[in-house]
Structures are given as C-alpha cells and as structure tokens.
Structure 1
Amino acid sequence: MRSGSETFVKAAGLVALAGLVVAFPSLASDPFVLSVGVVIISYAVLATAWNFVGGFTGYISLGHAAYSGLGGYATGLLILRADVNPWVALLLGGLVVAVFAVPVGIAALRVRGASFVIVSIALVLVLLLVFQSWESVTGGSDGLRVPRPFDADVLRPEQHQRFFHLHAVLLAVMLLCWWVIDRSRFGMGLKAIREDEDKARSLGVPTVRYKLAAFVVSAFFTALGGGLYALWFGFLDPIFQFSILVGSNMVLMSLLGGVRSLFGPLVGAVVVGYATEFFKAQYGDTQMHLVAMGVLLAVVVLFLPDGIIPAVRGLFVRLRPGQASIREVTQEELAEEVRR
C-alpha cells in the first residue's frame, strides 16, 4: 500500500510540475518575468546536461561552458556561413560538438579528481582565446549576431513564450534519457565508477568506454542547450560563452539540488537562477552578486552536501511513523519478535 501511495504521489507531483511549466508563460506578469523564466529553464537544461557526467560518474567538470559555447557558435556559424535552417543547425551543432568531445574525452578522462578539473578549465580557457582571436570567422571580441528563427513580426514576448516551451521540451527529453540510463545496465556501471572506479574495473565494468559515452552524451546535450540559448538571445560573446562562471554555475545548481536525483539540477537551477537575478537587481552592475553566489555555494557544501532533494527525502523518512533507526521496546515485545 505504501509503495502504491508513494507512486501516486510522485505521479501527481510530476503532472503538477509539467502543468506549471506549461502554464508559466501565461502566468508571467510581464515580459521581463517571462525572460527570467527562459534564463532559469536554460540553466536547468545546462545543469541537467552536466549531470550526465557529473552525477553518474562523479567527474566534476568546471569547463562545461566549452560545450555550451561551442554549441552556440556552431549553430550561429552554420546559419550565417552555410545558410542552414536554424533547427537543422541546432542539431548539427550538437553533433559536431559530440564528435569534438570524443578525442577530448579520451585525453581528459585519463586523469581524475583535481587533475580532471584543471584539464576541463584549461579547455574552456583555450577556446576563449581561440574564439576571441579568430575574428574573421567568430567575430572576435565584437561578438556574433545570430538570426532568430522566427519571423520579424513575432513580438518579443511571444519569442520568450516559444523559447520557454522549446527549452522545456529539450529538458523533458533529457530527463527521460537520464531516467532510462539510471535504470539500465549502463547506468549501473556508471554509478559503480562513481563509487569506486578501480573496483568497478576489477569487476569487469568497461570503465573507459562507459565514461567516454557519458561524457559525449553530456557534451551533446550541453551543446543543444547552448545552441538554443543562442537562437533565443541572438548574440554570442566569447567572454560570456566561454566563462568559467557558466561551468561553475552548472556544478553549483546540480550540487544544490542533488547530483544523484533526476530533478536535482532542475531544483538547483530554479534556486540559483532566481538568486542570480535577485542579486543582480539588488547590487546593479557591481560584482557583489558573485560574492553572494560564492556564499551560497559555501552554504551548500557545508550544510547540504548531498543537495536539497536528498535532504528533504531524508527528513520525510525520519518523520515517517515506524522509520526510526532505534526504538524502545519492552522485554515482552522483544521476546515476541524473537518467537516470530
């Protein structure tokens, strides 16, 4: 009975969440609020994409902005230089980045821990220099204007609505893929790598292939998120696209929500996205919002090391009747349990 009720509650919660996402553009009070919603759901897309490698394998990449930036530029350049349909360019851009991620993953995944973090940061810094210097192709520091895929007569609020729903569809596809992988033999192997990679290898898990597959899938979805953001925003700046802060936010959002949870990155994206916009509004053009985000990260590490969703789940388990780890029993009750 309990498992059935839990399933019903989860299904009802999922339906309510989907309904809220679908209805949000209509509930937004003005175009600014709607644009903030697009930013937050784009954060959720990037954080969920990062979680394919960070959550499953435990490899922490601070340089995932490399793949979102490449996805954005690949989409924009295919539209501008090759006159490709925007939606085809979005998909091709993701595939190009996935192919690029194969040799990068083969090289980067040879190391672990802090060494892997350093390699991921080095990649995004190298790409920043390349895209800033290659002015004839990328526009350099002046940036690159990306044509929006809809007609000019589509007003800005309607643009926001359409891109909010497009991000929501992409997020739903990613969550479904994450859920399927989590329950597959492949997912079991990835989680074994996360817990103890050496032991997983000794038990026959093809750790190199599994890590590389998760890395490429993560890069592909991250590139799609970056390309969709480029189509919405309409402008690419290499300093922002290849920023360590973007990759750090992906990590922060996933950690805050819970990297081992399906909806963890989504919850973290809502909190971090709202907090970012709130701090920017409070502190204006100063850099104090970065200090505030640093404090938030410290709070997460100190008080919510497993994330919001695991913490809430653990609280409900502790409060559930009969779930205490130690309970007092009388001698008669103990003797009765022994006889059973």
Structure 2
Amino acid sequence: MTNYLEFEKPLAEIEGKAEELRAMARSNEEMDVEDEAKALDKKAADLLVDLYKSLTPWRKCQVARHPDRPHCKDYIEALFTEYTPLAGDRNFADDHAVMGGLARFNDQPVVVIGQEKGNDTKSRIERNFGMARPEGYRKAIRLMEMADKFGLPIITLVDTAGAYPGKGAEERGQSEAIARSTEKCLQVKVPLITAIIGEGGSGGAVAFATANRVLMLEHSVYSVISPEGCASILWKDAEKMREAAEALRLTAQNLKELGVCDRIIDEPLGGAHRDKDAAIDSVREAIAAALADLSNEAPEVILSNRRKKFLSMGSKGLAA
C-alpha cells in the first residue's frame, strides 16, 4: 500500500481510481476497463512529473521524512558485504539508533556508520526514531578511531531529525558527545564520506557529516534545526514551518550553492521510496566516485583539506 503525502492527494485519487477499475475487472472477467485504466495511469504519471518538478522546501522536508523511504539498514544491506556490526560505547550502553561496523564496499574494507529510524512501530521504538543518545555518538567515535587506526575509509549515512533531547541523554552529556563526535570527524586521517539519505537534522547530523565529501539525495534536507522547531522559536508558532523551511535554505540545491553539499544524487521520479533499488544504486555510484577521488591523497592532505573545507564555509558571505 502506497503512503501518500499531503500534497500528493490528487495523485492518490487518480491512482486509486485506476486500481479500483482493475479490481472490478478481476472480479468480473467480462468487463474491459484496461483502456480507461491506462488513461488514468497516464494522467497520474503526468501529475507526478508536475508535482515533483518544483517542490517547495517544506514539501522536500515531507519527502525526506517519507516512512517508506529507504533507511540506513536498507543501504547497508544493499551496498555492503561482510557487514559485521559492532555494538556499545564501552562506557554506558549500545544505542540502537546508531548502526555501525566493519564491512566491504565494492570489495574495499571500510567502516560504515549511520542512523536508523526503523520501518514499523516496533523497530521505530527500538531505534528511537533515529534520534541518538550520547552512547550512540560515543559508539561512532569508537568506530572512527578504529577506522583511523587501521586506515579504513569511513562512510556515514545520515538520517535523523536530531539528537534525542531527553532528560537521561542530557544527564549523560549529550552536547559533549555530539561535540566530541564532530571533533573526531575533523581528526581522522582517512577518507570520510557522508551521504544524507533523508533528514540531516541539527548537531545530531553534523556529528556524522563533518566529512571530506557530503553527498545529498535530491529530496533530502540538512539544517541546523527542524522547520517546526525554528518556527516555534522565531514566531512562537510551529504552524509557520513552511516559512521556516524557506528561510533555513535546507534543500540539497540550496546547500550545493552554499558549498555545504558537494554532490546532489538524483532520485527516481516521485522520491526514493517509489524505486528503492534505483535510489540505492545511485548512492552506490556517488560513494564509489567519492572514494576513488580521495583514494590517492595522502592522510595529511585528506585531514588538511577537510579542515580547510569547513573553516572556509561562510567566508564569502563575510567578505561581502
């Protein structure tokens, strides 16, 4: 069953009518509705193109959050072989919102780390909807240190609304853990490649995405705060999230212009959830290209260029 977004309701009606006609024909073999159903299919396809050719930032947020969008676990299962998960931060607990371990990407040994939201009620609760606690960031630090020690490239898959803001997380040093994870990203001397596959929310995303190459799926978003959170702070009204999404410049296209995103990865028409295999293959190709681009650089150059990249962000605006 297709989950339709709010702005896709007209599409849902057309595709629903086509399916109803075919269901009636299946129950009554004498009915011939294929021509009418095909006409509705054509109408739906044209409408899908219209809807997605110029999405607003808020609609892109909705697509990035789509429940059927492929998540970290899907990418790990499809892109990596010999994946060996590593658990725990060696301090407090294992955070199931963060997946990570040793694997092979195109037969090259790597370390992969990502945030997993879950795909049903049980797994979403277990994964805390992809919102990591301090132990999740400390697990990521441990894996990055291991990658640095053994000279393994790091690939991170970002998909989170932000770090978990609960009382226990704050008591265990959430802000410090995020800062340490971001710091570790700036210290490792191995290639660090990030793919933002859905939401890149707040410091929870930055802690994984301070990378040599930041890749973003076409309808993913990356921002310092969610549109709803921004609207609540600026206008005391979360319903102004559309205006906030415009102001935050959080789309892949905005961030490519600003130099935050290095490459935009095309998605299937209608979003990654409409053709998961095609979306995952596109991410595979983008990661492979980024790895090849960094493969011949010396460790000191990789580290220096990463630091320069982030230190130079915003310098054009300041100079103007």
Which TM-score applies when normalising by structure 2? 0.26
Higher helix share goes to which structure? Answer: 1
Which TM-score applies when normalising by structure 1? 0.25
Which protein has the larger Cα radius of gyration, Structure 1 or Structure 2?
1
Higher strand share goes to which structure? Answer: 2
